[in-house]
Every structure is written in C-alpha cells, then in structure tokens.
C-alpha cells in the first residue's frame, strides 16, 4: 500500500520495476527456445536431454520459491528482491560462459534460484503498494500479468535476433545490464518493510527441491531406459518419499516453510490447481512449437522467433485490455474455466500439424486460439490465488502460486517430452517422425488443459451475489 514516503508517481515507477522482474523471469524461459538447436550443437546435448536446459531453471525456481516467499516475509520483500537480481546476474554469467553441458545446467539452476527470490518478493511488493485500493490493485495485476507475455514476446524475438546474428551465449548475457539497472532502482523506489523474527526451514526447502528434481528426472529418462528400469522406479519412488516427507515436515514444524492450513482459504487451492495445469499445458506447447518450426518447417532462428510474435502479442493485449473487464463482468471462475477450455481447443487443433505443413495453416490459427485461452485464464487464477491468503502471508501465497505454475511447467514438459520421445520426436532428420512426436505432445497438452477446465469447474466456488450476502447478513 502507499506510504507517506511513497508518492503516487514513484509507486507506479516501482510497479514498472516489479513488472520488469516478471518480464525477466519469463524471458529467461522463452529466450532459450529459439537458441536450443544451436546450443544443442555447441555443447553436445542429446535430443532427449535438451529439455534440461529448461528444467534446470524451472526445478530450481519452483523448488526454492517457497523458501523465497518465506525469506521475503522474514527479511523484508525489498531486501530479498534486490538479492534475487544479484543471484540472477551471477547465473546468467555462468550460463553464457558455459563450455560443457554440466556448467550450462549449473548456470541455469543459479538463474532459477535468483528468480525464486525475485518472483514472490515482487508480488509482495505489489500488494504492499496497491493492495489497499482494489481498483489500483486490478490495474497493477493486469500490468504485472501482461509482463509475462511481454517477456515471452521479447524472449522469442530477441532469442531469434541474437542467435541468428550474434551467438547463443548472448541470450544469457542480455540479463546483465537489466539486472544492474534493477538493483540500482530497488532502494530508490521500493517500500521498506520491517524484518520479522522467525526461523527458516532449510530442510523443507531441500526436501521439496530434491523431490521435484527426482520426479522430473525419472519422467524424462523413462522413454530412454524404460518405465520399469531400476533408475526410473528409483527416481520416482525417491520423489514420492521426498515430497511426502516435505508434507510431514511442514505439518510438524512450529514455523514451517509452507503452513498447510493456508489451503483452507476459500479458492486458494483451486486457483493454484488451475495455475499448475495451465503451466503443464502451456509450456510443452511453447517448447515443442519452437522445435517444430526449426526442425520440421526448416526455419532458422530469427524467423522462428518472429513466427511466435502474433501469439505472444495477442496474450499481452488480452491480459491488459480484455481480461480485467471480463473478470469484473463474468467472475474469476468463469474466466478460468473458459480460458483453459479454449487453450485445450487450440492445442487440439495444433496436434494436427503436418510434416509438409506451413506457418499459415499449421501454426498461426492454432497458436492464436491457444493464446486467447491463456489470456483469459492467467490473470483470474493468479489474482484469486494471491487474494485468498491473509495479508501477513503475502510472500507465502505469492511463492505458492509461482510454485504451482513452475511445478506444472516442469512436470508437464517432462511428461510431454516422454510422450513425444515415445512417438518419434527423437528421430532427428526425419520430419514425419518428428512431427508425429510433436503432435502427440500437443495432444497431451490439450488433454491437460481440458482436464484443468473440468477440475476448476468442479472445485472452485463462485462468490455469492451481493443480494444473497445482504439477505444472509440481515
């Protein structure tokens, strides 16, 4: 909320920095998509483990988000926000300078750790600045939400330009000047919050991160070594044990990383499930569409990035112009259900891609339908998830909703990588087989989106009409 030392003009400048944080977090996932084939050739990634360039970032991001949210609540959002930018800068230097697969993945993991500090503290700062005025909060969330597709748009475009006309390390080095500017702006623009006493559940953070990593590793490796192989069964069993252990730890700690009772807040669990399934459907589509454009249609890096601009531009416009007005008229539940259903239809159309296809028939129509669904569902589910928590748990709620989306992204991509690989997507140089594999991934992602629409319709509550609330009060 606004403070005496935070004039209105500076408050909106602060929002620009917060939106830049969301922009960067998403750009760091999308900018690598176009660069993947050249990065694969340069560092020696196989087709099967190429998804780890994405997953190393997402697992560190998703696994450490709860810790980032807890630190934001304890140490103050401004302090954690600034530290996150520094960690992101360091990870970007490592990833860009990498000469081996291992160093590249380490750099991506450090980037993810930085993002895990930035994302929940950014949302906490947003709520501090705008939470007291609902109309301002709606506008601020729309700007924040639109920064995600803006980052996606910039990522695919800049990724294409950089990969085509410079070299792939610069898709990471571009973060450095932005991070420096953000760190300079933080002390001048962001509101300060007092530190709070409390402990940090490091063991819980390690357990949830390791559990997520083991699960994704098992799913990604399964097509190569077999679902019944000892390494697959062991990894998946370890994931179950670690994640179950995390829940037990949280239930017994006096100051847990994630207070389990927070999920009793109305619609918080439902909104997070919607975000999880939204990420599980959207990110595999983005990943395999990049590969289809380059490995089947034969696009080079720059045209491949440009081909995704209509889709990401529509999402940005939909989130800023359409979603806030539609949410006021139709409510969050209707928007989320409709958005997930439309996304599912777009992905189902995309599953009809052909080995002899072209952009105008096989990519553009389906990608625009899918983009419309994403634009409708994202802001309502995000706003519901954040608004359902108590004000003092803003960092935790922000962390949880980011975890939901990133976990969905990682597991969805891992699962669809397995589906695509089993259907021919590992046959480099064989367009029909590649197309068959990518089509299977799109169909699987469509199923996830449609399941998400059904689950949201079943479990999310709609607010009672004002007249009914008034009669109950009387």
DSSP assignment string, 201-241: -HHHHHHHHHHHHHHHHHHHHHHHH-TTSHHHHHHHHHHHH
Residues 6+ apart with CB under 8 A from 264: none
Instruction: State the residue range of the domain holding 52.
Output: 8-189+257-473
CA atoms within 13 A on the CB side of 61: 31
Average pLDDT over every residue of 294-310: 84
Percentage of residues in the chain having pLDDT higher than 70 = 92
Structure tokens at 446: 């469509």
- Whether 384 shows a pLDDT value over 70: the answer reads yes
Give dist(CA 230, CA 34) in Å, integer.
35
- Tokens found for residue 230: 């000892």
Calculate what percentage of the chain has a pLDDT beyond 90: 34
> Hey, what are 176's tokens?
């450095």
Q: How far is CA 149 from CA 26, 222, 252, 371, 440, in A?
A: 8, 32, 39, 10, 25
Q: What is the pLDDT of residue 59?
A: 78
pLDDT digits (tens, 9 = 90+) for 58-105: 778 877 877 888 888 888 889 999 999 999 999 999 999 988 888 999
pLDDT at 473 over 50: no
In a domain, 322, yes or no: yes
Domain for residue 267, yes or no? yes
The pLDDT value given to residue 465: 41
Of 261, 274, 229, the C-alpha closest to 378 is 274
Q: Would you say 425 and 243 are in contact if contact means Cβ atoms under 8 Å apart?
A: no
* Per-residue model confidence (pLDDT) at position 145: 75
467 lies in a domain?
yes
Q: Which of 393, 378, 402 is nearest to 61 (CA)?
A: 402
Rounded Cα distance, 281 and 271, in Å: 15
pLDDT in tens, 245-274: 999 998 888 888 788 887 877 788 899 999
CA pair distance 399, 275, nearest whole angstrom: 12
| Residues 289, 297: Cα–Cα separation, whole Å | 10
The pLDDT value given to residue 189: 87
**pLDDT tier for residue 7 given thresholds of 50, 70 and 90:** low
**CATH number for the domain that contains residue 343:** 1.20.1250.20
Query: Could you tell me the two tokens for 299?
Result: 């696009």
pTM: 0.78
User: What is residue 470's predicted lDDT score, i.e. its pLDDT?
Assistant: 36
CA distance 166 to 168: 7
The number of distinct structural domains making up the chain is 1
Element (H, E) at 378: helix 364-387
Q: How confident is the model at residue 149 (pLDDT cuts 50, 70, 90)?
A: low
200, part of any domain: no
pLDDT at 16 over 80: yes
| Domain-embedded: residue 84 | yes
Hey, how many other C-beta atoms are within 10 angstroms of the C-beta on 73? 24
Of 65-74, 168-177, 319-328, 406-415, highest mean pLDDT: 168-177
In angstroms, the Cα distances linking 114 to 60, 89, 97, 148, 237 are 9, 8, 18, 17, 29
The verdict on residue 230 lying in a domain is no
What is the residue-averaged pLDDT of the chain? Answer: 84
The residue among 347, 232, 240 whose CA lies nearest residue 284 is: 347
In a domain, 232, yes or no: no
Of these ranges, 179-188, 205-214, 326-335, the one predicted with the greatest mean pLDDT is: 179-188
Q: What is the pLDDT of residues 417-471, one digit of tens each?
A: 889 988 988 888 899 999 999 999 999 999 999 999 999 999 998 764 433 333 3
Q: 2-6, 52-56, 117-121, 279-283: which range is least confident on average? A: 2-6
Residue pLDDT, tens place only, 305-359:
788 888 878 887 888 788 777 877 888 899 999 999 999 999 999 999 999 999 9
Q: Which residues contact 325 (CB under 8 A, 6 or more apart)?
A: none
Q: What is the mean pLDDT of residues 5-22?
A: 79
Residue bearing tokens 């953000």: 182
47 confidence band (pLDDT: 50, 70, 90): low
Sorting pLDDT into bands at 50, 70 and 90, what band is 223? low
Q: Tell me, what's the pLDDT at 1?
A: 40
Average pLDDT, integer, range 239-247: 93
Question: Is it the case that residue 394 has pLDDT exceeding 80?
Answer: no
Which DSSP state fits 260?
Answer: G
Q: Is residue 211 part of a domain?
A: no
The whole-number pLDDT of residue 300 equals 79
Assigned token pair, 64? 């450490």
């Amino acid at each position: 909320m606004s403070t005496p030392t935070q004039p209105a003009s500076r408050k909106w400048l602060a929002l620009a920095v917060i939106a830049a944080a969301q922009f960067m977090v998403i750009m760091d996932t999308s900018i690598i998509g176009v660069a993947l084939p050249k990065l694969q050739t340069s560092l020696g990634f196989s087709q099967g483990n190429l998804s780890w360039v994405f997953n190393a970032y997402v697992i560190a991001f998703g696994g450490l988000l709860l810790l980032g949210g807890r630190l934001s609540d304890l140490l103050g959002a401004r302090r954690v926000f600034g530290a996150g930018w520094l960690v992101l800068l360091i990870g970007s230097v490592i990833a860009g300078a990498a000469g081996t697969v291992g160093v590249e993945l380490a750099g991506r993991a450090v980037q993810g750790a930085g993002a895990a500090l930035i994302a929940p503290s950014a949302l906490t700062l947003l709520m501090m600045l705008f939470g007291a005025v609902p109309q301002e909060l709606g506008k601020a969330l729309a700007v924040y939400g639109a920064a995600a597709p803006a980052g996606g748009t910039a990522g695919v475009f800049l990724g294409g330009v950089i990969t085509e006309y410079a070299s792939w390390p610069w898709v990471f080095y571009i973060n450095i000047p932005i991070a420096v500017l953000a760190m300079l702006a933080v002390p001048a623009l962001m509101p300060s919050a007092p530190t709070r006493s409390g402990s940090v559940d490091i063991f819980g953070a390690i357990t949830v991160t390791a559990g997520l990593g083991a699960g994704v590793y098992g799913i990604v490796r399964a097509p190569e070594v077999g679902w019944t192989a000892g390494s697959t069964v062991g990894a998946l069993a370890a994931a179950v044990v670690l994640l179950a252990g995390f829940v037990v730890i949280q239930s017994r700690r006096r100051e847990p990383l994630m207070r389990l009772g927070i999920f009793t807040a109305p619609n918080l669990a439902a909104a997070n499930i919607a975000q999880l399934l939204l990420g599980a459907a959207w990110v595999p589509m983005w990943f395999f569409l990049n590969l289809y454009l380059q490995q089947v249609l034969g696009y080079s890096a720059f045209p491949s990035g440009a081909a995704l601009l209509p889709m990401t531009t529509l999402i940005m416009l939909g989130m800023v112009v359409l979603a806030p007005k539609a949410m006021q008229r139709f409510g969050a539940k209707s928007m989320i259900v409709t958005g997930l259903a439309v996304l599912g239809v777009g992905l189902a159309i995309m599953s009809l891609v052909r080995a002899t296809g072209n952009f105008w028939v096989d990519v553009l129509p389906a990608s625009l339908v899918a983009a419309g669904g994403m634009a409708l569902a994202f802001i309502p589910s995000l706003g519901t998830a954040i608004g359902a928590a108590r004000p003092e748990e803003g960092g935790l709620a922000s962390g949880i909703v980011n975890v939901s989306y990133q976990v969905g992204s990682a597991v969805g991509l891992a699962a669809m990588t397995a589906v695509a690989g089993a259907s021919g997507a590992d046959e480099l140089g064989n367009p029909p087989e590649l197309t068959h594999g990518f089509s299977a991934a799109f169909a699987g992602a469509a199923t996830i989106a449609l399941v998400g629409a059904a689950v949201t319709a079943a479990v999310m509550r709609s607010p009672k009409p004002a007249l009914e609330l008034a009669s109950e009060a009387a």
